[in-house]
Amino acid sequence: MSRIILASQSPRRQELIGYILSEYEVIVSAVEETLPDGIAPEEVPEYLAGVKAQAVAAEHPDDVVIGADTVVILDGQVLGKPKDADDAFHMLRSLSGKAHTVITGCAILQDGRMTTFSDHTRVEFYPLSDREILDYIATGEPFDKAGAYGIQGRGSVLVKRIEGDFFNVMGLPVARLKREMERVKALPRQTQGDRI
Nearest to 148, CA basis, from 41, 40, 70, 42: 70
Distances (CA, A) of 69 to 90, 98, 101, 192: 22, 23, 14, 24
Distances (CA, A) of 156 to 56, 124, 179: 33, 11, 27
Neighbour tally for 29: CB within 10 Å = 21
Q: Which of 63, 69, 119, 165 is catalytic?
A: 69
Q: Which residues are CB-neighbours of 77 under 8 A, at least 6 positions away?
A: 41
Q: Which residues are CB-neighbours of 151 under 8 A, at least 6 positions away?
A: 123, 159, 162, 166, 169, 170
> Which residue(s) pair with 118 in the sheet?
105
To the query of whether residue 69 is one of the catalytic residues in this protein, the response is yes
Catalytic positions, written as ranges: 69
